[in-house]
Amino acid sequence: MASLVLSSLCFTSQKPCSFTSSLRFSFGVLAGSRSAAPLTVGFRPVKRRNGRIRVSVYSRASPLVFRDLDADDFRHPLDKQNTLILKAIPGLNELGRALLAGTVTEQIMLLENIGTSVLVSKDQLPELHKMMIEAAGILNIESPDLYVRQSPVPNAYTLAISGKKPFVVIHTSLVELLTLNELQAVLAHELGHLKCDHGVWLTFANLLTLGAYTVPGLGAFLAQTLEEQLFRWLRAAELTCDRAALLVAQDPKVVISILMKLAGGYPSMAGQLNMDAFLQQACSYDKASSSPVGNAQMRQLSHPLPVLRAREIDEWSRSNEYRSLLKRATQMNVVEKV
């Protein structure tokens, strides 16, 4: 039975130094990440009114639904290009499936993620449940299970096991950092990996980020033959999933705001963040990175840099391709949203 871990949304990361790294199976830890204050599982800061605690609930205007949406309708061109390159490598797909056949890895993944998280349902954190169901409906995909896990590191990731229902995990600090619309866009990003069947290639990338390149034989093969190509593909796949987030949010400002907050935002100052200034950073980065050092840095990253992702989604939101998708969509009705 094959297991595969799909990428997290949140951060760029480089390879860890050993295979004994924390088995959280995500790409989302930056060295020196700040620790958050004590966290609670919730949606917005609670307010006290007349002696009672009230929590804001999720609500949005009826979104557009993409009933006949195919993954290639929004797949990033670099994703398509690099997937073809990987498929052309003889035996790679078979090797990946063989690596994923072990039951030990499978059990570690299940125990680590399911055993330490809260399963979301219509009776458990129902607003989050509603957001996931709605996002899956918009993207025309079956809704996976959703878990909330206590962690000071804002992150989200997906686990898929062959023959079993996949599930998404989000960290409590991410819930605290984002608005409800932003949080649903994060869920949509993770759904994008499932929609696009980012399977075996993402698994190889995960093995690399977990330090599998240190394993004798296998490590040498991956490091020497696949490492740079896999990370190039992974960065492209993340751009595809940012597009999935936009298809659900249906507002580029929502997706850009997520990327800005993950780069350097925090709840108490969120209202002072400026998206135009953040997009301008992409131009500054282009100038500063036009050197061998900048190019070398990019080759080692699992995710595109946040400012570049923001610029990509801003440009796609104004493209004819995106507008054509919106024209094909239909309004979600009340019955579908329940």
CA distance 78 to 239: 9
Largest separation between any pair of C-alpha atoms in the chain: 68
CA distance 123 to 263: 33
Determine which helix (DSSP H) or strand (DSSP E) holds 205, and give its type and residue range: helix 199-209
Beta strands in 120-251 (DSSP E): 145-149, 156-161, 167-171
Determine which helix (DSSP H) or strand (DSSP E) holds 288, and give its type and residue range: helix 275-288
Could you list the active site residues? 190
Say whether 3 sits in a helix, a strand or coil: strand
CA nearest to 308, candidates 238, 209, 254, 231: 238
Q: What type of residue sits at position 137? A: G
CA distance 77 to 68: 20
CA distance 229 to 235: 10
C-alpha 179 chain-centroid distance: 16
CA nearest to 156, candidates 205, 121, 190: 190
C-alpha 44 chain-centroid distance: 21
Cβ pair 244, 139 in contact under 8 A = yes
